[in-house]
Structure 1
Amino acid sequence: MVLWHPPDAPWVKLNTDGAFSASTLEAGEGGLVRGPDGGLLRAFCSPITTSSSFEAELLALIRGLGMAMKLSTHIWIELDSAALVTLLSSGRLGSADIRHHMALIRSITAQRHVRFSHIYREGNWAADFLAGRGLRPLPLLIMTQSLRLGISRR
């Protein structure tokens, strides 16, 4: 069983996810920042324009970092994309089509204490849910109730 665990103080944990449909070319991003008690500090979801699922993951991370930076200088980034965690941990910028995103992430995180880790999708369900809602937004009340109850309404 894969479970999400809260960070130790003074860290906040940022979980993000991107969603991309190759058949419709629709994409969404979602994420949330939670504190040491596991409480929700910030969350987001929105449609985005991108040409790949990997870029959707990067855009979601960039949006989430913007929120997390306002809350703490210690940010634990937990993602369900093992490939992205590997790239972020390597110090490399990746292929030419994503270098500008990677350079921005490096710039944003330069003055912070940041750690990266992988979590399986089952443990990242809240960010996955929000990314899916970015594709097809739900009314805020339904989305809030679904997050609280752990229900995915796809």
Structure 2
Amino acid sequence: MVLWYPPDAPWVKLNTDGAFSTSTLAAREGGLVCGSDGGLLRAFCAPIAASSSFEAELLALILGLEMAMELSTHIWIELDSAALVSLLSSRHFGSADFRHHMALIRSMTTQRHVRFSHIYREGNRAADFQAGRGVQTPALTYFDPISAPRYLKALVRMDQLGYPNFCFRRKDVG
């Protein structure tokens, strides 16, 4: 069972997701910022140019950070990429291919209170939904609580009410 938790005031919570298709080479990103009541503050989705799913995750985080920084100096970043959370929590910049993205993220998060956490994809459904919309969207699109798609509002509301998301992982017997 995976639960999404709202941040404590004055924090906002940023959930992002990036995706990359090796068959079509299409990439997309999406994300949202929620307040301490769990309600939607802003969201985005967009098609992007990325060379891997990891780069798509990084680009989604950068755009999400830009959006979250307009709303608060206390940002809880929650991602479904455990590898990215691990890298962000360390002092390393990762491979040479992504160092410029990591350097930008590090510079954006200085002078801010930031924490990173991992959530399974099932608990990151709202950001995953937004990333999926990125393929259908011709350009970067922002949403507020009124203009957000109905399904996004429903996902946010379910998280806000504490509805569980279920994660079925196969345990290898060994």
TM-score in same-fold range (> 0.5):
yes
CA 1:107–1:53: 2 relative to 1, 3 Å: same
5+ residue gaps, structure 1, are none
Give the match for residue 103 of structure 1.
103
Distance 1:61 1:116 in 2: 11
Give the match for residue 116 of structure 1.
116
Distance 1:19 1:102 in 2: 18
| C-alpha distance after superposition, 1:77-136 (max 9, x if no partner) | 000000000000001100000000000000000110000000000100000010111022
Tell whether 2:65 aligns with 1:68: no
Where in structure 2 are the equivalents of 1:1-154 lying within 5 Å? 1-137=1-137, 144-150=149-155
What secondary structure, in the 3-state scheme, does the structure 2 residue paired with 1:33 have?
Answer: strand
5+ residue gaps, structure 2, are 156-174
What secondary structure, in the 3-state scheme, does the structure 2 residue paired with 1:2 have?
Answer: coil
Kindly report structure 1 stretches of 4+ aligned residues shifted beyond 3 Å.
140-143
What secondary structure, in the 3-state scheme, does the structure 2 residue paired with 1:50 have?
Answer: coil
- Size of the aligned set, in residue pairs, is 151
Bigger Rg over Cα: 2
Distance 1:102 1:149 in 2: 33
CA 1:112–1:129: 2 relative to 1, 3 Å: same
CA 1:72–1:143: 2 relative to 1, 3 Å: closer
The percentage of counterpart residues that share the same residue type is 77
> Are the equivalent residues in 2 in contact too, given 1:19–1:135 (CA < 8 A)?
no
Aligned-pair distance for 1:147? 1.1
